Chains A and B, each alone.
Chain A
Amino acid sequence: MKRKLFSLSGIVGLYTAVILSIGFLIFFVISIIVKGSSVISWEFITTAPRLGMTEGGIWPALVGTFWLSFLAVIISVPIGVFSAVYLFSYAKSTKWVSFVKICVNTLAGVPSIIYGLFGMALFVNMMGFEVSLLSGALTLAVLALPIVINASFEALSSVSPDFMQAAYALGATKRQSILRVLIPTAMPNILTSVILVTGRVAGETAPIMFTAVAFYNRQLPKSLMDEVMALPYHIFALMTEGTHSAKQVPIAYGSALVLLLLVLSISSTALILRYRLRKKRQW
């Protein structure tokens, strides 16, 4: 009897936990939709803010976020994938590999504001790139790097060693086996994590705060050295520094909704892609 009661209360506890987390998510999404959807329109998406950001849209912020994320991914993915390939296939000593992996994991756990400060010190000041698209993208790339390395390493480890054996046994050199078999086989998984990283990078505020963004800039970036607007920072700025909150808070929620939809669609692309590729080549 006591035991039954105990297991019953356990089940109730589990359900409560699940319902709480789902409920939280639903509440959160709905409240953003309710508060944000009223301002969203084609014009909101495609025009620049006007009148001290009390009117107009988010186009420059959208474009800025696109360029920041795109560049950060373009920079971090090759470096990350090649680091993972080195760690997985070339690094000889296991001590060295685990040391590097500890470093990478530590880096992955560093709060993003620290990346912001680091980016400011290194790219903005020391290297003299100033507050610019370039500095922001580089800072985001550094943030993305450990994630890409870890995900790629996982992807490479999940490739069955049988394939490498087969490649060697057919006369392929180590380099050929890696380039023609290991990396292509791991590619679906690498690609999925690259897309997820894109979503993560697109939503970051702290790393670009001191390195890339302008509070208010109606111009689209013309070069890597321009300041840009970015969606997450736009929301932050509207909520904290706005002086006309009655007009600006709805715009902030509208931007939040756009950002949320953007990140969700990026993640679901990754999921669909993973599903498709898995189905196409099973092993």
Chain B
Amino acid sequence: MVKIRTSNLNLHFGDNHVLRDVNMEIQEKKVTAIIGPSGCGKSTLLRTFNRMNDFVDKLKISGTIMVGDKDIYQDKMDLSRLRAKVGMVFQKPNPFPKTIFKNVAFGLEVQGKHSKCEVFSIVEESLRAAWLWDEVKDRLHSPAMALSGGQQQRLCIARALANCPEVLLLDEPTSALDPQSTAKIEELCLALKDRVSILIVTHNIAQAGRISDYTAFMYLGELVEFGETEKVFTVPKDKRTEAYLTGVFG
């Protein structure tokens, strides 16, 4: 099943043509890795899926992006709903300077549709799903800032999961973490595949190889190659992909 489909996606920041004719189909409940040299537009592509680029002045975007059966760039799109359904985790862990509990409950509270009791059980369930519950269950009401970097990043994942997302966008989620925390988050991604479609940007080729089912290689705003990770890694079709994978650039 296709979860996200882009057709002829072009994006400009002013004069900067950042995404060029991107056509891709992202499979549901799989892990898709986006790799490529720095500045090639990976983050920008990711941020088109929850419309976080909308904040940039001089954004020009054409083509369509379907998430599920919704064209997310149509005028009537409810951005709050979209961003709840397409969660995002950033490169630098960024829990709010609030308690652990309030961090995870944030999305539910802004929606304002849940009773206190529901909020509590969703918070617990999300923390469990992000493998954080056992570490924090005794200090849910202490500041999230006191957690370690790896824990903070898992808290950010839990926070996104509380919105019950269909897609999870991870933008280099482990680049600020130590190897152990990185390994934990990688395993967590694999475990979360059952419930969400995962898109992960990474500059770590080995990481893409370890956790992704599909890999997209981007270069200068173009989607150069996209396919099953095994095939992309063993028999890349494009010379640029091969050069990148063998470490010639990037």
Option from A162, A168, A181, A281 in Cβ contact (under 8 Å) with B145: A281
Residues on the A chain within 8 Å of B88, using CB: 169
B111 within 8 A of A: yes
Residues on the A chain within 8 Å of B95, using CB: 166
Within 8 A of B (CB), among A190-240: none
With A176-B110, A180-B110 as contacts: A169 and B52 at CB distance below 8 Å? yes
Within 8 A of B (CB), among A135-189: 160, 162-163, 165-173, 176, 180-181, 184-185
With A162-B94, A281-B97, A281-B145 as contacts: A170 and B52 at CB distance below 8 Å? no
With A160-B94, A181-B96, A281-B97 as contacts: A169 and B83 at CB distance below 8 Å? yes
B106 within 8 A of A: yes
Residues on the A chain within 8 Å of B96, using CB: 163, 166-167, 181, 185
Residues on the A chain within 8 Å of B111, using CB: 171
Are A169 and B92 touching (Cβ within 8 A)? Answer: no
A282 within 8 A of B: yes
Option from B83, B98, B143 in Cβ contact (under 8 Å) with A170: B83
Residues on the B chain within 8 Å of A42, using CB: none
Majority secondary structure, A binding face: helix
Using C-beta atoms within 8 Å of the partner chain, give the interface range for chain B: 20 to 34
Tell me, in angstroms, the Cα distance from A160 to B95 when the chains sit together. 11
Tell me, in angstroms, the Cα distance from A172 to B160 when the chains sit together. 12
Number of A-B contacts (CB under 8 A): 70
Option from A166, A171, A184 in Cβ contact (under 8 Å) with B156: A166
Tell me, in angstroms, the Cα distance from A185 to B82 when the chains sit together. 26
Option from A167, A170, A173, A185 in Cβ contact (under 8 Å) with B97: A185
B107 within 8 A of A: yes
Tell me, in angstroms, the Cα distance from A167 to B98 when the chains sit together. 12
Query: Which residue from chain B places its CB closest to the CB of A160 in the assembled complex?
Result: B94
Query: Which residue from chain A places its CB closest to the CB of B156 in the assembled complex?
Result: A166
Q: How far is the CB of B129 from chain A (nearest CB, A)?
A: 16
Are B94 and A163 touching (Cβ within 8 A)? Answer: yes
Q: How far is the CB of A235 from chain B (nearest CB, A)?
A: 43
Residues on the B chain within 8 Å of A2, using CB: none
Q: How far is the CB of B49 from chain A (nearest CB, A)?
A: 11
Kindly list 8 other residue pairs between chains A and B, CB separation below 8 angstroms, not including A169-B88, A171-B84, A172-B106: A165-B90, A166-B95, A166-B156, A169-B160, A170-B83, A171-B111, A173-B110, A185-B96
Q: B residues near A, CB below 8 A?
A: 50, 52, 55, 79-84, 87-88, 90, 92, 94-98, 106-107, 109-111, 143, 145, 156, 159-160, 163
Q: A residues near B, CB below 8 A?
A: 160, 162-163, 165-173, 176, 180-181, 184-185, 280-283
